[in-house]
Structure 1
Amino acid sequence: MNKSNFVPPIEPASLVELLRWRSLMHPQTGGYTFLTDGGDGELSLSYRALDRRARAIAARLQSMNAAGARVLLLFPPGLGYVEAFFGCLYAGAIAVPAYPPHPRRPMPRLQALVADSEAAFVLTTEQILQDMQQRLTHLPDLAALQWLATDSIADTLGGFWQDPQSGAETLAFLQYTSGSVGTPKGVMLTHSNLLHNCALIYRYFENSATSVGVSWLPPYHDMGLIGGILQPLYGGFPVTLMSPAYFLQQPLRWLKAISSQHATISGGPNFAYDLCARTVTAEQKAELDLSHWEVAFNGAEPVRVESMERFAAAFADCGFRREAFFPCYGLAEATLLVSGSNKDTVPITQSFYSKALEKNQAIAGVAGDAETRILVGYQKDLFPQRVLIVHPHLKSASRVKLVRCG
């Protein structure tokens, strides 16, 4: 299929311009639906409603001279988080997504993030603000920030909003890494970075206005925020969101959402597929229709061929196709997506000798040999770039080999 057919109709300079355009041209289409925890309820947010809430939150921030400032976002997963994120962008402020504090646990990571990001404001909910009041008396670094509950901001404030005229190189938000290979650090992402990566995802997943998304991924990290929230806005297609806890408590909920919404794109880390294959019963499978699932992306942790084979076999009778798997690799420092498979192709695998891999050597082995390990390929880089394969001890570009992905 010619991927040029999947180019969106506009080339916005910023996410603000993109959402403004969507709210005018497609006010009631696309948008977000959130499945509420603890029940079967759902909340919806159209592009028009999101634009209205973003303008109101932005106007309040602008009245506090927050343009250009770092703004910490402390929200549970949900539509309030989406509104606050775009409220920051509409204000010309720099969003800093973070996990909300646990009411009974220390907050060293949050305090370190505040210090590193040099945040001056906090957007949160009335509930979290009330829960934090007493704790702030013992946390002067957090108490020094200006706290604002967005659910108390009236929509009428949107009439005072002023367009920040954000450009392609305007900083949009700080994406803090997971810290899996070092100390968590904030990656500075511009509107151009985000729109460029959204375009790549849109093109190689072959999304369109008829696509349908489902995501349970944490909205504070790149895959959940960029892949689960920004990509649907870029493509103009609807997405159903749920919290990670809602999925982990009952993995079936993820597959039921995919089935009921006829979702075409959804995914997550490798463990999610193992969890579903292990816990969903035959009786529950009988009610699932996964035949519309075109892109089942698998990333954020090592992709295992055994996991994909188990899932594909377990849900074949539900209409799931093995070709839907899309192994991919990405990282916050590259915005999100770096390399991946081709849509509608069986993932590439190769056997390597395990002992050689332990010595940082890749020696092809024979499939089925007990001394080999099967690895899944990410196939190719998705755009003109090269990847450094760095020796874990040397970590020097002058001592490593520069190779192409795949």
Structure 2
Amino acid sequence: MNYENYDPSFPDQPVVDLYLPLWANLPSFRSKPAFIWAEDGSNGATKNSTITYAQLNESVHSISTQLLTQLQRGDTVVILRSPGFELVEIIFGCQRAGLLCIPVFPPDPSFTKENYHHLVRVLSQTKPKAAITHHDYIARVQRYISLSSDNHKLAEMLQKLTWISTSDIKDKKVSSNMGSLPYNSCRPNELYLIQYTSGATGIPKPVLVTAGAAAHNVRVARKAYDLYPSSVIVSWLPQYHDCGLQFLLLTIISGATSVLTSPGAFVNRPGLWLELISKF
């Protein structure tokens, strides 16, 4: 296989998820931060939390195992989570489970603020089997379904979904004997992501991305940016945005560390981004 590898010590992998156990099993990388989440406080001070390569790999393994108790490989799922570690873990967990995922910003579950049109578009066009979200969000959606008399189409689409709580797939521990298990994740030629365009110049359109194409894209970016394991990335872009998601993949294939914050924090205080660049 001919990839864009520039370091023969670390052979390129056909899909991004295969890089994760590679780094996590190296002694010098186990405790290295893969992602740092910077939460901006009301007084301007940031509170940082960290997930290491070993922790991320273990969480992804657990999530993928739990997902496959309710879904089958190749199923389509919509992820309704705000930016954060949990969304990062679930995106990688879906790839390891061999699922086709669609990350979408969750509209207010009261669906009264005319902010649900994109969700309707996603559900109509992709016809996912399940939705993954927080248990409180599920409870509010179920309440909307039971009381809805205004939008029967939306209520019907929501009712057809299998709702999976993030706590059910994250909080249950499974055997971590990953080394002896065959790798059955997305293959390079298989779809693993439906990415919607931003909608800045027109109605958002679904783009079908194979696992191999995503890996190729970030390998080219890794070479262009000259990224190495010692590199640090700082981003406020949401993880369902094309660049925001690619920075997650780029971090993993480079063995780098990515410092993330929410788009809302950046919009409220743009100087936060520059502060994080200076700090890290």
TM bucket (normalised to shorter chain) is 0.7 to 0.9
Higher-Rg member (1/2): 1
**Residue 203 of structure 1, aligned match among 223, 227, 234:** 223
| SS of residue in 2 equivalent to 1:246 | helix
Moved over 6 A (4+): none
Q: Which residue of the partner structure matches residue 85 of structure 1?
A: 91
Q: Which residue of the partner structure matches residue 104 of structure 2?
A: 98
Q: Which residue of the partner structure matches residue 163 of structure 2?
A: 147
Between the aligned partners of 1:37 and 1:103, the Cα distance in structure 2 is: 25
Between the aligned partners of 2:197 and 2:243, the Cα distance in structure 1 is: 11
| SS of residue in 2 equivalent to 1:31 | strand
Shift of the 91–215 alpha-carbon distance from structure 1 to 2, 3 Å rule, reads same
Structure 1, residues 157-194: CA drift from partner, whole Å, max 9, x if none?
Answer: 35598642432112121111123444322211111111
Between the aligned partners of 2:203 and 2:275, the Cα distance in structure 1 is: 37
Shift of the 151–160 alpha-carbon distance from structure 1 to 2, 3 Å rule, reads farther
Q: Which residue of the partner structure matches residue 157 of structure 1?
A: 174
Q: How does 1:21-40 map to 2 (within 5 A)?
A: 21-25=22-26, 26-38=29-41, 40=46
The yes-or-no answer on 1:117 pairing with 2:136 is: no
TM-score by length of 1: 0.60
Structure 1, residues 245-292: CA drift from partner, whole Å, max 9, x if none?
Answer: 00111111110000000xxxxxxxxxxxxxxxxxxxxxxxxxxxxxxx
Between the aligned partners of 1:29 and 1:254, the Cα distance in structure 2 is: 22
Structure 1, residues 125-158: CA drift from partner, whole Å, max 9, x if none?
Answer: 2232233231233312012101111233334135
Alignment length, in residue pairs? 258
In 1, are the aligned partners of 2:235 and 2:258 still within 8 Å (CA)? yes
Q: Which residue of the partner structure matches residue 136 of structure 1?
A: 145
| SS of residue in 2 equivalent to 1:239 | strand
In 2, are the aligned partners of 1:111 and 1:142 still within 8 Å (CA)? no
C-alpha displacement of 1:200:
1.0
**Residue 63 of structure 1, aligned match among 47, 69, 76:** 69
Shift of the 158–4 alpha-carbon distance from structure 1 to 2, 3 Å rule, reads closer
Structure 1, residues 184-218: CA drift from partner, whole Å, max 9, x if none?
Answer: 22211111111111111111111111211100011
Structure 1 range deviating more: 177-186 or 195-204? 177-186
Residue identity opposite 2:127 in structure 1: E
| SS of residue in 1 equivalent to 2:68 | helix
Q: Which residue of the partner structure matches residue 19 of structure 1?
A: 20
Between 1 and 2, higher relative CO (CA 8 Å, sep ≥ 6) is seen in 2
Residue identity opposite 1:41 in structure 2: K
Between the aligned partners of 1:7 and 1:103, the Cα distance in structure 2 is: 49
C-alpha displacement of 1:5:
5.1
Q: Which residue of the partner structure matches residue 53 of structure 1?
A: 59
Identical-residue share of aligned pairs (%):
26
C-alpha displacement of 1:37:
4.6
| RMSD after superposition | 2.2
Between the aligned partners of 2:141 and 2:11, the Cα distance in structure 1 is: 43
Between the aligned partners of 1:8 and 1:219, the Cα distance in structure 2 is: 30
| SS of residue in 2 equivalent to 1:157 | coil
Structure 1 residue ranges without an equivalent (≥5): 262-406
C-alpha displacement of 1:235:
0.7
Between the aligned partners of 2:136 and 2:38, the Cα distance in structure 1 is: 19
Structure 2 residue ranges without an equivalent (≥5): 149-154
